[in-house]
Amino acid sequence: MKISYNWLKEYVYICLSPQELADKLTNVGLVVADIQPVEDDFCLDIEVTSNRPDCLGIIGIAREIAAAEGGNLYFPETNVGSAHVDISEFINVSVEEPILCPRYTARVVRHITVTPSPEWMQKRLKCVGLRPVNNIVDITNYVMVETGQPLHAFDLDRLAEQKIIVRKARIGEEIVAINGARRALFPDMLVIADGRRPVAIAGVMGGVETEVSGSTRNILLECAQFEQRQVRRTSRALGITSDSSYRFERGIDPEGIDRVSQRAVRLIKDCTGGEIAGGTVNIRSERHETKKIVLRMERLHKVLGVEVKRDVAIDILKKLQFNILNDVDNFIDLEVPSFRGDISREIDLIEEVARIYGYNNIPTKTSINVRGSTKNKVEVVEDTIRQFLIGLGFYEVKTFSIVDTAPLQAVNLWSDKEGIDIANPLRQEESRLRTSLLPSLINTKRYNMHHGTEQIKIFEIAKVYLAGAKLPHEKTCLSILADTDYLTLKGIVESLLFNLGIFSKCEWIIFCEPGLLRNERAARVQMDGITVGYFGEASQELRFKTVSCLTELDMDFLVEKSNFVKKYHELPQYPPVFRDLAIIVDEEVTWSSIERCITDTKTAFLKEVNFFDVYRGKQIPSGKKSIALNLLFQAIDRTLKMKRSIVLSKLSSMPSTIPLAQN
């Protein structure tokens, strides 16, 4: 809402520079976004919150300043005098939709001369960004800016059958609005019609056929109240917004309408020499119920945390034009002015007092009660993982949860169901909730590739969204993309689990997801029969220049399984004995089956079985490989003395041929 500094001073006496005024307004909640000098005046651009339509008129803003700064309010002249010819001679108004139009007033001014408006008015309108048109239109705009109440002037002689009917539009009707837009109207829209056709879209914009023009001699001035939602819906549906619709959508002062109408016709009479017809059309479907509220001083103190004196509170409320009925003891009984539709409860009054008292005058308390807070397990696990990975040179990334529907994005490791689509996406590129983080990491790798970073190690902790019953299942995942070989990233994942206190053994089961992971180098990782995640080398189809590995792990599972309870184990008193062994096996035999074979022998003192090399070459028959491993034996009570032969005999229960890996 743009206001003129000089114009404002007409309603309230202030000794403030434009900047000082802006600061005062900001402090009461009317943020001044900009101050621009305009000739000998200043234009202040004020951000009015949606609950304060009363401040969409300069008088409303003057009221706030008067309350904050002291000083009297001055209201403009509204005396319209009396006339001989009654309005009923010229117009017949009926309201068919009293709920959508609770109040409709009309006045008639005859024998006007349409000319440019006076210089002073044009200057003020220009200052607040309105283009002067002619004296009638300018006066309706001027009074709207002054009071916040929109008005519309019709060319009386162009209204068919001397009728105004407030009704719903009929099928097939259309209108050309004064901005030139032709619109088909629908039966859920409220219009102002004459005897034949719609002449205005109620609360939104008038029609071009009945607009005031140079030849207009007699006018009908409409000043009404239209239901907020109705105006908003119609305005949106037709794609027409106006200063009127903006104000009607937010709500106008239902009790101020007649006064505003009087103010406008008085100005018209003064500026155009017209003759005001006697009487007024004033149709109202309901009486405005004055709201009564009680403010308890004790409650005021409790909510604000400061003892605002009773006199101070009463003074503030009076200046805001609340009608104090009773102010005995610890209660203030009052009536809410009709222009404050936003106030209906005690808490609303508390805000009013706080606003004018000054938020910045309320003390800043420096102590609160003791309450301990500990990190929850999710935080601990996430922190641990982040610290672990960044220590290893990984960067954490954050990518969008809403993705496109390209095939890569369709990767869904966790559910058979399709991803969840947004009903009203902005663009196709962001239309579906993702089911995996890996495609986003792949895109991040590509982005960096194109910006000169070839080698990358990144991870993200975020949710994937899996179709569920009412709400989707939001599963938090840890996904990693690293330009390393398979075993390096696998080792990192193993260490990570270890770091979280997860010691259960993982099974690595061959897995196939061709567009994403390289065939035969991808695994589903399982622990205690539950899938922990997926792991593998990036598919060649992704055309990376480097060898990259990907993994996506179930964070919810990691959080559940993690265990940070630590217990000291006494250090071994006696040294371990290491023995190395190489065995030649078929190519198909996996390490995990060899390891299982050895551990299944339950050999005494055998503490660890460690892989250290695989060899294929001259001495090894083709189709076979040599696996070198290292065995660690240890006893708690003595130094073991084990010869190689003893080791072998101890392992004698090991089958001479190791079965092919199952999985």
Partner 1 sequence: MTEKLEEVKSNLQDETKTITTRKDAEQLKIKYLGRKGIVNDLMKLIPALPTEKRAAFGQRVNFLKIEIADIIDELITKVSAEVIPKIKTELFDITLPGKRPFIGKKHPITQTIDDIKEVFARLGFDVVYGPEVELEYYNFEALNIPTDHPSRTDFDTFYIRDDVLLRSQTSTVQIRIMEKQKPPIRIIAPGRVYRPDTVDARHSFMFHQVEGLFVDEGVSFADLKGVLNQFIKTYFGQNIRMRLRPSFFPFTEPSAEVDISCSICGGRGCSVCSYSGWVEILGAGMVDPNVFKAVHYDEEKYTGFAFGMGVERITMLKYGICDIRLFYENDIRFLSQF
Contacts of partner 1 in 454-493 (CB under 8 A): 456-458, 462-463, 465, 470-472, 474
Q: List Cβ neighbours of 335 (8 Å cut-off, separation of 6 or more).
A: 290, 291, 292, 322, 323, 325
Range list of H helices, 431-485: 438-450
- In the complex, minimum distance from the CB of residue 306 to partner 1, in angstroms, rounded to a whole number: 6
Scanning 148-156, 331-339, 421-429, 488-496 for contacts with partner 1 by CB under 8 A, the matching segment is 421-429
Scanning 205-213, 278-286, 381-389, 487-495 for contacts with partner 1 by CB under 8 A, the matching segment is 381-389
Angle subtended by helix axes 377-391 and 486-499, to nearest 10: 140
191-207 in b/e form (b: 16+ CB < 10 A) is bbbbeeebbbbbbbbbb
Interface size with partner 1, residues (CB under 8 A):
86
Tokens of 596: 């299982």
- On whether the CB atoms of residues 161 and 190 are closer than 8 A, the answer is no
Among residues 182, 371, 567, 569, which is the contact residue for partner 1, using CB under 8 A?
A: 371
Scanning 6-14, 375-383, 405-413, 523-531 for contacts with partner 1 by CB under 8 A, the matching segment is 375-383
- On whether the CB atoms of residues 180 and 208 are closer than 8 A, the answer is yes
Is position 294 an interface residue for partner 1 (rule: CB under 8 A)? Answer: no
Among residues 81, 172, 214, 391, which is the contact residue for partner 1, using CB under 8 A?
A: 391
Nearer CB in complex with partner 1: 79/366: 366
Interacting positions 296-325 with partner 1 (CB under 8 A): 302-306
Scanning 121-129, 315-323, 372-380, 506-514 for contacts with partner 1 by CB under 8 A, the matching segment is 372-380
Nearer CB in complex with partner 1: 152/432: 432
Is position 422 an interface residue for partner 1 (rule: CB under 8 A)? Answer: yes
Among residues 161, 421, 541, 560, which is the contact residue for partner 1, using CB under 8 A?
A: 421
Interacting positions 590-649 with partner 1 (CB under 8 A): none
Is position 396 an interface residue for partner 1 (rule: CB under 8 A)? Answer: yes
Nearer CB in complex with partner 1: 420/510: 420
Report the C-alpha gap between 106 and 155 in whole angstroms.
Answer: 13
Scanning 149-157, 194-202, 282-290, 340-348 for contacts with partner 1 by CB under 8 A, the matching segment is 340-348
Report the C-alpha gap between 422 and 81 in whole angstroms.
Answer: 61
Contact mark string toward partner 1, 347..366, x via CB under 8 A: xx-xx--xx---xx-xxxxx
- In the complex, minimum distance from the CB of residue 559 to partner 1, in angstroms, rounded to a whole number: 11
Between the CA of residue 516 and those of 22, 413, 527, 625, what are the distances in Å?
A: 59, 11, 23, 30
Report the C-alpha gap between 605 and 375 in whole angstroms.
Answer: 41
Tokens of 354: 């706080």
614-623 in b/e form (b: 16+ CB < 10 A) is eeeeeeeeee
Between the CA of residue 593 and those of 406, 497, 498, 589, what are the distances in Å?
A: 40, 22, 22, 7
- In the complex, minimum distance from the CB of residue 239 to partner 1, in angstroms, rounded to a whole number: 13
Q: List Cβ neighbours of 453 (8 Å cut-off, separation of 6 or more).
A: none
Interacting positions 223-262 with partner 1 (CB under 8 A): 228-229, 232, 236
Contact mark string toward partner 1, 39..68, x via CB under 8 A: ----------xxxx----------------
Interacting positions 15-34 with partner 1 (CB under 8 A): 26-29, 31, 33
Angle subtended by helix axes 135-147 and 119-127, to nearest 10: 50
